[in-house]
Amino acid sequence: MIRIKGKAVSPGIVMGKAMLYNSTQDVIRSEKINEKAIEKEIWRLDNAVKKTQAQLKKINRDLQKVMGRDSALIIETQYMLLKDSHLLDEIKTKIKSNLINAEWAIKETEKKYLQIFNSIPDLSFKTKSNDISDVLSRLVDNLKKGGKFSLASQSGQVILVADDITPSEAAKLMSHNNLLGLVLNKGGETSHTVILARTMGIPAIMDTVNATEAVANGDQLALDSVSGEVIVQPTPAVIAEISVKSEKYQIYREQLKTLSQLPELTRDHHQFHLHANIELPFESEMVQAYGAKGIGLFRTEFMYLDSRMSISEEEQYLIYKSIAQNIFPHPLVIRTYDIGRDKSDISLMNREENPSLGLMAVRMFLKHREPFKIQIKAIQRANISGNIKILFPMITEIEEIHAIKTIMAETREELLSEGTYPKKDVPVGIMLEIPAAVRLIKHLKDDIDFFSIGTNDLIQYLLAVDRNNSEVSYLFSPFHPAVIHILKEIRQEATRIGKEVTICGEMAGKCFQALMLLGLGFTNFSMNAMAIAEIKRVFTQIHYSHLKKIVSQLDRFSSRSEIEEYLTESLLKLYPDLLIRQRLF
Ligand code: PEP
Ligand code: MG
């Protein structure tokens, strides 16, 4: 038995078999074949095509079940590519005329298509190149005897152990429903992989450094992501201990659920509002059960990446309209695609030296406007129930806001002339996550209706610390005096121009961080649905007047550790039950 320590980033206690996951692609080599082998090579290719088609069909069915109808598009496009005999004919011709193995012929064909598509500035062609790459690498995997590892083909549930995985890989793996837990060597607490795990309620620990070396495929694991450890090959005594802990944890979660209907008031009747963040449309169906009064952030980029960026206005319209109607009368805040940085398909984007400072989100879509226009139009059109708001990420300068408003006016005109513009305009908000944008607030009285603070990026850009890099995670602190200062500035500036502010970064769902935000005067919080009950438990237990007094003292300190210590100790002195979760387990 070995115990591996890590950082608990998505709570839960589970036991299951380990599955080592390595996302790196195998190297493909060119091999010469003789004429007699041509027939065999083509037979191998045809077999791999059949296998790939069958897999795509199954994935399509599974995805539909878990993620809804809209996700089917991803796979259907790829299926059609394989039906297109032109692509396959080209691969076969290469095998015959160049006398090369099927794997190499596939890679050569892929190279040609990628060169053509990437030379066309229109973003939708880059989308197509991504589909080709995805389906052709699946084909190459299926040429191998036994095929490649696929979580979808696993029977039973597994705990995935990996160095790190990208958010798009994570979304695919999680959609198969047989992922029990996640153990990562690396990772970042506010990385989108971890955010997805939290939303899906999948227990996860990260920063284990060497879990992939200490664990073998098929090992029995006990993952305790309440205390932050994974136990490899636990003894019967430890299994019994973990089972008891797991049961207690389940009871605790059930008890939390009962809080979901309590009024959103502190003990001294100070009002607050708790909303949910969602990443994929199907999540909207469960957020109200967790006590969310509305959706404060719909990160639509996951849907965009899922659909391989080919999601039409009509499809988006239907999705947004139905979520808005389900959540009515509460608000639905739809954030336009925030792709780029870690939320991109590497094969799709031009590689940038420094993607976190590069062409991303609104910046990218003001250059390649078509998908952006389609999304904005779909959002405006879907606002039939009148509770939709639109939110733009990664705003740096006022020129971007003006450009966006021009597009919105154009799409509004188009919809009016088509007779499909609903009665109500959608309120417009921007994310405050690039520190420079905070200085714009006072100029935005007439342009912007509301603000949303993305503390994950705000901290990343303010402190110059990569939110995904565990090497510098100690610096990623919401308690840094500069973070507190900028939050105060936002609060004051927004109040001065009379606009609403919501906090939608991970800080909103963490006990002491959220309490600090409440004490700083914020009242709207949006977080992963699983965190809502816990935050409600904590907020309804305290007096706002006490909290405000404690938080007003934080200015005295110059270091993040002193601030954190002062805040937690002062609060625990007044409310010893705040940390009930930690004491229970
Ligand atoms: C943030 O930056 O805090 C945020 C909410 O957006 P995302 O995590 O999607 O970048
Ligand atoms: Mg952000």
CA atoms within 13 A on the CB side of 20: 12
**Site to substitute for ligand 1 among 301, 338, 513, most atoms within 8 A of C-beta:** 338
* pLDDT at res. 499: 98
Protein residues with C-beta less than 5 angstroms from the ion ligand 2: 433, 454, 457
- Given a contact cutoff of 8 angstroms between Cβ atoms, the answer to whether 172 and 150 are in contact is no
| Closest ligand 1 atom number to CA of residue 455 | 3
* pLDDT at res. 346: 47
In the predicted model, what is the mean pLDDT of the chain?
Answer: 87
| Closest ligand 1 atom number to CA of residue 190 | 8
The proportion of the chain whose per-residue pLDDT surpasses 90, expressed as a percent, equals: 55
3-state class (DSSP) for residue 466 = coil
Which residue's alpha carbon is nearest to atom 9 within ligand 1?
299
Tell me which range, 82-86, 347-351, 462-466, is most confidently predicted by mean pLDDT: 462-466
Mean pLDDT of 491-498: 98
Give 454 Cα–ligand 2 centroid separation in angstroms.
5
* pLDDT at res. 25: 46
Question: How far is residue 32 CA from its own chain's centroid?
Answer: 44
Q: Tokens in use for 98?
A: 């160049």
**pLDDT above 60 for 24:** no
* pLDDT at res. 227: 85
* pLDDT at res. 348: 46
Ligand closest to the CA atom of residue 190 = 1
Give phi and psi for 131, each to the nearest 5: -60, -45
Mean pLDDT of 379-398: 98
Long-range pairs for 199-202: beta carbons < 8 A, 24 or more residues apart: 199/277, 199/278, 199/279, 199/283, 199/528, 199/529, 199/530, 200/174, 201/10, 201/12, 201/530, 202/10, 202/12, 202/174
Residues assigned a catalytic role:
192, 504
- What tens digit of pLDDT does each residue of 524-581 get? 999 998 899 999 999 999 999 999 999 999 999 999 999 999 999 999 999 998 876 6
d(CA 459, CA 107): 41
Which of 416-420, 436-440, 486-490, 573-577 has the lowest average pLDDT? 573-577
∠ CA 218-66-139, rounded to 5°: 65
d(CA 455, CA 501): 12
* pLDDT at res. 263: 92
- Given a contact cutoff of 8 angstroms between Cβ atoms, the answer to whether 172 and 504 are in contact is no
Of the candidates 373, 271, 285, the residue with the CA atom closest to the CA atom of residue 325: 285
- Higher pLDDT pick, 345 / 4: 4
Which residue's alpha carbon is nearest to atom 1 within ligand 1?
454
| Closest ligand 1 atom number to CA of residue 338 | 9
Which domains are seen in the chain, by residue range? 255-584 (3.20.20.60)
* pLDDT at res. 310: 66
Ligand closest to the CA atom of residue 394 = 2
d(CA 187, CA 471): 9
- Given a contact cutoff of 8 angstroms between Cβ atoms, the answer to whether 343 and 401 are in contact is no
Give 432 Cα–ligand 2 centroid separation in angstroms.
9
3-state class (DSSP) for residue 332 = strand
- What tens digit of pLDDT does each residue of 165-179 get? 877 677 767 766 678
* pLDDT at res. 472: 92
- What tens digit of pLDDT does each residue of 51-89 get? 888 878 877 776 666 555 555 565 677 788 888 778 899
- When pLDDT is cut at 50, 70 and 90, the band that residue 121 belongs to is low
Cα-Cα end-to-end distance for the chain: 21
* pLDDT at res. 83: 80
∠ CA 387-391-394, rounded to 5°: 170
Give 163 Cα–ligand 1 centroid separation in angstroms.
23
- Residues in contact with ligand 1 by the CB-under-6-Å rule are 299, 338, 433, 454-457, 504-505
Provide the 10 A C-beta neighbour count for residue 491. 16
